[in-house]
A and B are shown apart, each in its own frame.
Chain A
């Protein structure tokens, strides 16, 4: 499963620069809004689902080498956060769906916690 499949099937909006999403294969998934829990729990190359939308999610994603961040419930990061994500090569995706539904859909698609 590639990030392209996830973006298509969950109808996600890509907030950062377009890149070859078909060439990115997330290894696992993680969902939490508490950054320290993410630091402790999210594996490398995983997809992180959260409703946090401030610039610090970019720092967390970069430090953990995450594949992408899915921001739920329509929360929208600042332009500066998006610019920072582009700079760090972090992919930010957005959806109006709730975290529970996004996590469920990802699980159905075969993504696990590793």
Chain B
């Protein structure tokens, strides 16, 4: 590994950017205790440097905390061992060659703290202690690399397996016409959960292989429709999304109060939202207009006293189709864009 400071001017390709950002995130998410080597091989101050040599060789380690009566009193590294060898003094006690002022790390701290210390002090390993200051392990840059790789592989596999499963749904299940239906119940006035249905739908579409553009258009349309149910209905309503390889049909249904004048409701800036709702930033009178902009086809049917039904359709072009029923060339293209 490079010992130099992290360069600010490194060149990152678009493809690598996602991965690097995730690695950096992991440096904050992973705890030192999750990646350290535990328990650490330890030595005592009265052991000889020749014992240290044997330990380093047999255990394949390059440093060890020095413990006396359960307390951390120093650390001995391969550099100390080399000094003893050069001075032909491997019979000397560990206490003569060990480094006494030892910086320690807490097991509960994020890995970034270890990286910072490694960069600042240029040491190769640091003892890890628990909150009470007791030694629980040792960490090297190699431990961090392994821990991050493991976490990345896990992340990658989990999401890839989900995407793989979802993308093959349409080709694995044979019928004359296969569709996937997602249903959500929306409660009136439930602002705390506003946007949940649209987030879930957007994620489902991405897993099914929808392009970010299609997922975004559906997300926006459903969000506006979902918020309309929360803000304007008497008893809430339902969101229903039917996904087929070639189209996405989204629908919201409620049982009132109904829209008096649909043309007026479609006019940008017109809103019947009460002030309390406007204070939250809703009721701009843009919702239906936004939906119209995002979908290919929109149908709004409403009867006062009966309820409202809004249907929105997005048609997928041949190169945007969901599932893996597309041509091999398309698949190659899609795999090429998997780093998005």
Using a CB–CB cutoff of 8 Å, the interface residues on chain A facing chain B are 17-20, 22-24, 33-37, 39-40, 44, 50, 52, 54-60, 62-65, 80, 88
In the complex, 23 of the A-B residue pairs with CB atoms within 8 angstroms, ordered by the A residue number, are A20-B21, A20-B24, A20-B27, A35-B282, A36-B224, A36-B282, A36-B284, A36-B286, A36-B290, A40-B290, A50-B281, A52-B280, A54-B280, A56-B280, A59-B195, A62-B195, A62-B199, A63-B195, A63-B220, A64-B219, A65-B212, A65-B216, A88-B199
A59 to B20, CA, bound (A): 26
- List 12 additional A-B contacts (Cβ < 8 Å) besides A23-B17, A40-B286: A18-B28, A35-B227, A36-B282, A36-B287, A37-B284, A40-B289, A56-B194, A56-B281, A59-B199, A63-B219, A64-B216, A80-B192
Q: Are A34 and B286 in contact (CB under 8 A)?
A: yes
Q: Which of A17, A20, A22, A60 meets B223, CB within 8 Å?
A: A60
Per-position binary interface string of chain B over residues 194-212, scored 1 when its CB falls under 8 Å from any chain A CB and 0 otherwise: 1110110010000000001
User: Given the known A-B contacts A23-B20, A40-B289, A55-B191, are A63 and B199 also in contact in the complex, defined by CB atoms under 8 Å?
Assistant: yes
Using a CB–CB cutoff of 8 Å, the interface residues on chain B facing chain A are 8, 17, 20-21, 24-25, 27-28, 191-192, 194-196, 198-199, 202, 212, 216, 219-220, 223-224, 227, 280-287, 289-290, 293
Interface of B is mostly: helix
Q: Which of A19, A40, A56, A64 meets B25, CB within 8 Å?
A: A19
Shortest Cβ distance from residue B223 to the other chain A in the assembled complex, whole angstroms: 5
Q: Are B284 and A34 in contact (CB under 8 A)?
A: yes
A87 nearest CB neighbor, chain B only: B199
